[in-house]
Chain A
C-alpha cells in the first residue's frame, strides 16, 4: 500500500473542503476551519496548505465567481480529487484498524465507551 503523506492540519483542511456544502474557497474554508476546530488560524496557513494539497494532487481548483468586495478578483474553488478521497479513506481505514487493535480493557482506560 502506498503511503499517503498528510499532516494533521492538511488532513483537517482536506476534510473541511470535502465537507463544504457550498463551493469551497479560501475564506469559506478558513471560517469553517475556525468554527470546526475552535482554533485561531491565520489565513496564510490555510492558503499555504491548500496550495500544497493541490500540488500533491489531493485537491484541484478552478477560478471563478469574482465579486465587488474582492476588488473584482476571482475565487479559487477547491474540490477533492479522486486521489484526495482515497487518501482520506485510507487514513480513516488505518485509524479504524488501529482502534480495533486496542484491547477492550485499555479502551475503557482511555475513557472510550
Chain B
C-alpha cells in the first residue's frame, strides 16, 4: 500500500481566495512579489484569528484589488536587457540589415524580385480571370433562382441538347407548377434598323417578353422596366444604340423601322450597356407581343426561356415533373407531325426531356451548338487555376532556392551573430524579414507589371478589367496575404536551416561546401521547376498544333475566295436576276442562292427516319441546307455517289442529297443509298439522289452531323465563288451591282474563311494565354537556374583555377560544370512527359477531330527545356572556365 502523504485538512480552507492569489501573482512585478505577498499572508493569518476566516478572505481579496495599479505592475528593468524579439529597435535593425544585404547582392536581389513579381503578376491576372469567369450572370437580383430551360433530345444513341425551347413551354410550365414565379422568353435576331437616313445592320437584337428585363434586373436610363415591352411594336435600346441613331436627341417616343418590311417600333426605354459578365449582350430588346402566335407549340426550339422559381423550390424535383407535360403536349404534336402511332409517339416521353440550367452556370457549363454567345468553359477555369497555382509555386521555389543558396554565404554572419548573443529566433526573424521585404518589393513591381500588362491581358481574354479592380481593399488584402505567405514560405527554410546549425560550423563556413544536405533541396526544386516548365512546353505545343490542325483541316469544301451575302432577301424576287447578273462578271466562278453556308450558325433541323423495304428505321435528327442547282459546285463539295441536282430531272424537287454521316446514321452503310426514301415530319418523303463527302459546316470541335440538302425555299442568302487577285476591285463592282437593284439596305458580305477563323476565337485566346503564361513560367525557371548556377559555380572558382593550372581544357570545364544541372533537367523531362501526355490527352477529348500526340512532341519539349537550361548554365560555366586561373586562385 502506498503511504499517504501527510495532509493538513484545514490548510486548503484556511488559505486566502485562490483567484485573488493568482491575480496578484500575475499582476504584481516579480521583484516585489515575494515580500508583498508574504506580508499579505501574514495579515491574513492574523485576521483569521481575530475576525474569522470568511472576513479575512474578503479582506484579503479587497486588499489584493488595491494592488492593481501601474506602480505594482511595472516590471523592474533587468540588469541584463532582455533579448526582445519584436521590439521596434530590433525590427528597425532587421529591416536595415535586410536592405543592406539586398543592396550588397544587387544581382541576386534583382533576379529574385523579378522572378517573384512575374510569378505574382501572373497569379493575380489569372486569379482575376478566374474570378471574372466564375461571376457570370450574378447581376440579376434573383440570379440564383433563375433557370434556363434546356431540352435534350435522344435519337439513335446521340443526345442533342438545345438551350432553347418552343413558344408554349415557358407559360405552360408556369401555369402547371405553382413554384414557378415567372417565365420569360427571348428570341435572338439580326436585322436592319433605320432611323431617317441612318441605316445599319444590327446583329444583336432580341424579341423578349415584357417581364424579361425586370427578371434580369436590367436598370433603365429612361422609361420604365415594368411596361416597356408590353405593347406590340415597342423597342428598348441601349445607350450606345440611342447615340448611334438619335445622336443627342431624346429617343423616347421616336420610332425605328426594322427589317425589309419596315415595321415601325416605338422606343419605350433606354437601358445601360448590358453588364460584361452576362451571357448575352443585346443592343436592343423588341416586344415579343408584336408576334401573335395563334397556336403556340411545344415540340420545337428557338425561344430561350428563363424561369424564376420560388426561394424554396427544388429545381431537381421540378425537373422530375416535366415528363407529365411532355406526355400531355409534346406527344400529340409528335404524333401528328410524324404521322406515327400513339405508341410510337409515346416514346418521346423518354427521349424528349426538359432540363433546368441554373443561370449562373450557363457561362461555364452550357456548351450547346446554339448558345447566344460563345461561352466560357469550366475546364479552362480549372486549367488556368492550376496554372496560376503552379506559376506561383514555381516563383516561390525559385525564391527559396536562391535565398537558401545566398543565405549559405552568410553562414559566418550567422555565426558571429550567435557569438554576440543572438538566439535562434533572432536569426529566423532576420531571414524572414528579408524574404518578406523582398516579396513586398516584388508585390509593388507586380502591380507595376499588371498596370502595364492589363491592356494586353484584356485584349487577349476579351475582358474589360480595370486597374481599380486591383486596388480594392479586398483584393489588396488578399494579395498582401498571398505575398506575405509566399515570403514566409520562401524564407522559412533558409531561416530555420541556418539558425539551427552549430556555431562552430557557421563560423568555419563549412556550410558552403557542396556536400551538405541542402543540395538535395536545391536539386529537388530545380527538378520541380523544370518538370512544370516541360509540362507547360508540351501543353503549348499540343494546343498550338491542335489549333493549327483545326484551322487547316481539310474541311471537305473550299473556303478560299468564298463570299457569303446574308441579306439578299432584301432583293425579294430579284434574287435570281442578281445572281445571273453576277455570273456575268469575269471574276465570278459560280453563284448559288442559299442562306445556308458553312460557319453560319443558322441551320434548320428536323427529325427524319429511313423508309426501308422491311419497315421504318430509327428516327434521327438531321440538319437541313436549302440550296439550289449551283450549290454543290460553288462550294466544291465532293459527290461520292449519285449526282447533283439537275434541271433536267423535274422530280428533283422531292430529291435530296445527303452526307456520309447521314448514310451512316440512317443505317445504310452496307447498301447503296441512292434511290432510297427518307421521311421527315409532316410525312413528306424524299428520294436520295446523291451522297456528298462529309464536310465540316460547323466548328471542327463538333462532329459532322447528318445533313440533308434539298431544293427550294432557299432564298435569303447568296454564296459566291470568285477568282481574282484584286479583291477590292471586285468588291467595288459587287457593291455597284447591288445598288443597281435598289435594295434599300446596304450590302452585307463576309468571306467564309475569315468567318471560319472567328469560330476559334475562344481557342485562340486560350492558345495565346497559354503560350504567354508558359513562356513566363519557363522564364521564371530559367532565371532561377541562371542565378543558382552562378552561385554554385562561384563557389567552385578555386577548384576551376586548380583544374586549369593542371591542364584542364575550357570545354572540359564547361562540360563538368553543366553536367550536374543537365542531369536534373533530364530527370524533370522524364517525369514531365507522361504527365504532360495524360493532361493533353484529356484536353484533346473535347475535340471531335483531333491530332495525335506523337513522340516527337515530347522530344521537342525535352530538347527545348534542355536548351534553356544549357543556355543559362553554360553562360556562367563558360565565364568561369575562361577566367584567368591566377585570378581565380587568388579569390576568397
Interface of A toward B, CB cutoff 8 Å: 25-27, 30, 42-45, 47-48, 51-52, 63, 66-67, 69-71, 73-76
Interface membership of chain B positions 72-85, coded 1 if the CB is closer than 8 angstroms to chain A and 0 otherwise:
10000000000000
Contacting pair A42 B38 (CB below 8 A): no
Closest A-chain residue to B71, C-beta based?
A: A48
Decide yes or no whether B344 CB sits under 8 A from chain A: no
Q: How far is the CA of A62 from the CA of B328 in the complex (A)?
A: 104
Tell me how far the C-beta of A79 lies from the nearest C-beta in chain B, rounded to whole angstroms.
14
Top-7 shortest CB links A-B: A73-B38, A26-B39, A76-B35, A44-B66, A70-B38, A69-B45, A27-B42
A70 vs B16: C-alpha distance when bound (angstroms): 12
Within 8 Å CB of A76, what residues of B?
Answer: 34-35
CB distance from B46 to the nearest CB of A (A): 8
Rounded to whole angstroms, the CA-CA distance of A67 and B40 in the bound complex is 13
A27–B72 alpha-carbon span in the complex (Å): 17
Residue of B nearest to A73 (CB): B38
A28 to chain B, nearest CB (A): 9
Partner of A74, one of B35, B63, B69: B35
Selected from B36, B69, B72, the residue in CB contact (under 8 A) with A26 is B36
B43, A27: Cβ atoms under 8 Å?
Answer: yes
A47 with B36: CB separation less than 8 A = yes
Nearest chain-B residue to A69 (Cβ)? Answer: B45
Given A43-B43, A69-B45, residue A48 in contact with residue B35 (CB < 8 A): no
Pair A42/B39 contact, Cβ less than 8 Å: no
Interface status of B406 (Cβ within 8 A of chain A): no
* Distance in angstroms between the alpha carbons of A44 and B73 in the assembled complex: 13
User: Looking across the interface, which residue of chain B has its beta carbon closest to that of A46?
Assistant: B39
Q: Are B69 and A25 in contact (CB under 8 A)?
A: no
Residues in B neighbouring A73, C-beta threshold 8 A:
34-35, 37-38, 41
Of all chain A residues, the one with the shortest Cβ separation from B63 is: A43
Complex alpha-carbon distance, A76 and B34, angstroms: 9
On chain A, the residues within 8 Å of B849 by CB distance are none
In the complex, the answer to whether B72 meets A25 with C-beta atoms within 8 Å is no
Chain A CB within 8 A of B668 CB: no
Q: Does B32 contact A (CB under 8 A)?
A: yes
Q: Which residues of A contact B35 (CB under 8 A)?
A: 25-26, 63, 73-76
Report the interface size class on chain B: 10 to 19
- A75–B40 Cα gap in the complex (Å)? 11
What residues of A have a CB within 8 angstroms of the CB of B37 in the complex? 71, 73
Q: Is B63 within 8 A of A44, CB to CB? A: yes
What 11 new A-B contacts, CB under 8 Å, besides A30-B43, A43-B66, A75-B39? Answer: A27-B46, A43-B39, A44-B63, A63-B34, A70-B39, A70-B42, A73-B34, A73-B37, A73-B38, A74-B34, A75-B35
Number of A-B contacts (CB under 8 A): 63
Given contacts A42-B63, A51-B32, contact A71 B38 (CB under 8 A): yes
- By a CB distance below 8 angstroms, the chain B residues around A30 are 39, 43
CB distance from A46 to the nearest CB of B (A): 9
Cα distance A48–B67 in the bound complex, in angstroms: 9
Which residues does chain A contribute within 8 Å of B36, judged by CB atoms? 26, 47
Output the least CB separation between B65 and chain A (Å): 9
**In the complex, which of the residues A27, A48, A51, A66 contacts B39, with contact meaning CB atoms closer than 8 Å?**
A27
Distance in Å: Cβ of A63 to nearest Cβ of chain B? 7
Identify the B interface with A (CB < 8 A).
Answer: 32, 34-43, 45-46, 63, 66-67, 69, 71-72
Cα distance A102–B368 in the bound complex, in angstroms: 113
Least Cβ distance of A78 to chain B in Å? 10
The residue of chain A having its C-beta at the shortest distance from the C-beta of B15 within the complex is: A71
Q: Specify which of A25, A30, A73, A74 lies most central, judged by the most chain B CB atoms within 10 Å of its CB.
A: A73
A73 to B24, CA, bound (A): 15
> Complex formed: what's the CA distance from A100 to B596 in Å?
128
In the assembled complex, which residues on chain A have CB atoms less than 8 Å from the CB atom of B39?
25-27, 30, 43, 47, 70, 75
Residues of chain A with a CB closer than 8 A to B72's CB: 44, 47-48
What are 21 A-B contacts with C-beta separation under 8 Å? A27-B39, A30-B43, A43-B40, A43-B43, A43-B63, A44-B67, A44-B69, A47-B32, A47-B36, A47-B67, A48-B71, A63-B34, A63-B35, A67-B42, A70-B39, A71-B38, A74-B35, A74-B38, A75-B35, A75-B39, A76-B34
- Tell me which residues across on chain A come within 8 A of B43, comparing CB atoms: 27, 30, 43
The answer to whether B69 and A48 have CB atoms under 8 Å apart is yes
Chain B residues within an 8 Å CB radius of A51: 32, 71
Give Cα A60 to B246, complex, Å: 97
> Which of chain A's residues has its CB closest to B33's CB?
A73
Residues of A within 8 A of B69 (CB): 44, 48
Nearest-CB residue, chain B, relative to A43? B63
- Rounded to whole Å, the gap between the CB of A91 and the closest CB of chain B is 24
Q: What separation, in Å, do the CA atoms of A112 and B40 have in the docked complex?
A: 41
Contact residues in A for B42 (Cβ distance below 8 Å): 27, 67, 69-70
Among residues of B, the one whose C-beta sits closest to the C-beta of A52 is B71
Distance (whole angstroms) from the CB of B510 to the closest CB of chain A: 50
A69–B34 touching, CB < 8 Å: no
Complex: how many Å from CA A76 to CA B66?
20
CA distance A96 to B818 in the complex (A): 97
- Nearest Cβ on chain A to B27's Cβ, whole angstroms: 11
Which of B39, B45, B67, B71 has the most A CB atoms < 10 Å from its CB? B39
Q: Compute how far the CA of A84 lies from the CA of B67 in the bound complex, rounded to whole angstroms.
A: 26
Which B residues lie within 8 Å of A63 (CB)? 34-35
Contact among B32, B38, B45, B63 for A66, CB-based, below 8 A: B38
* Residues on A with beta carbons closer than 8 Å to the beta carbon of B66: 42-45
Q: With A and B bound together, what is the CA distance between A51 and B40 in angstroms?
A: 16
Report how far A42 CA is from B43 CA in the complex, Å.
12
Query: In the assembled complex, which residues on chain A have CB atoms less than 8 Å from the CB atom of B41?
Result: 69-71, 73
Q: Which residues of B contact A42 (CB under 8 A)?
A: 63, 66
Interchain CA distance A67-B38 in the complex, whole Å:
9
Complex CA distance for A27 and B63, rounded to whole angstroms: 13
Nearest CB of chain B from residue A107's CB, rounded to whole Å: 40
CB distance from B62 to the nearest CB of A (A): 9
Bound-complex Cα distance A71 to B42 (A): 8
Q: From residue B57, how far is it (CB to closest CB) to chain A in Å?
A: 15
Measured between alpha carbons, how far is A43 from B43 in the docked complex, in Å? 9
Cβ contacts under 8 Å, B46 to chain A? 27
| Smallest Cβ-Cβ distance to A70: which chain B residue | B38
Distance (Å) between the CB of B60 and the closest chain A CB? 10
| Chain A min CB distance to B4 (Å) | 22
Chain B residue numbers with a CB within 8 Å of A74 are 34-35, 38
- Of B34, B38, B43, most A-chain CB atoms within 10 Å: B38
Could you tell me the distance between the alpha carbons of A27 and B45 in the complex, rounded to whole angstroms? 12
Q: How far is the CB of A23 from chain B (nearest CB, A)?
A: 12
Kindly name the residue among A30, A42, A44 whose own CB sees the greatest number of chain B CB atoms within 10 A: A44
Q: How far is the CB of B77 from chain A (nearest CB, A)?
A: 12
**CA–CA, A97 and B72, complex, Å:** 38
* Cα distance A67–B45 in the bound complex, in angstroms: 12
Residues from chain B with a CB closer than 8 A to the CB of A52 are 71
- A25 and B43 CA atoms in complex are apart in Å by 12
Closest residue of A by beta carbon distance from B44: A69
> A74 vs B31: C-alpha distance in the bound complex, in angstroms?
12
Residues of B within 8 A of A26 (CB): 35-36, 38-39
Most-contacted residue by chain A among B35, B40, B71 (CB, 10 A)? B35
Most buried by B among A25, A51, A63, A67: A51
Specify which chain B residues have a CB less than 8 angstroms from the CB of A25 in the assembled complex: 35, 39
Q: Which residue of B lies closest to A61 (CB)?
A: B35
For A43, the chain B residues whose CB sits under 8 A away are 39-40, 43, 63, 66
Measured CB to CB, the nearest residue on chain B to A63 is: B35
Q: Which residue of B lies closest to A67 (CB)?
A: B42
| Distance of A69 Cα from B49 Cα, bound (Å) | 12
Q: Which B residues lie within 8 Å of A69 (CB)? A: 41-42, 45
Residue of B32, B40, B46 contacting most chain A CB atoms (<10 Å): B40
Return the chain A residue nearest B59 by Cβ.
Answer: A43
From residue B21, how far is it (CB to closest CB) to chain A in Å? 10
CA distance A45 to B72 in the complex (A): 11
| Residues of chain A lying within 8 A (CB to CB) of residue B45 | 69
* Closest chain A residue, CB of each to CB of B66: A44
Closest residue of chain B to A51, judged by CB?
B32
Instruction: Name A48's closest neighbour in chain B (CB-CB).
Output: B71
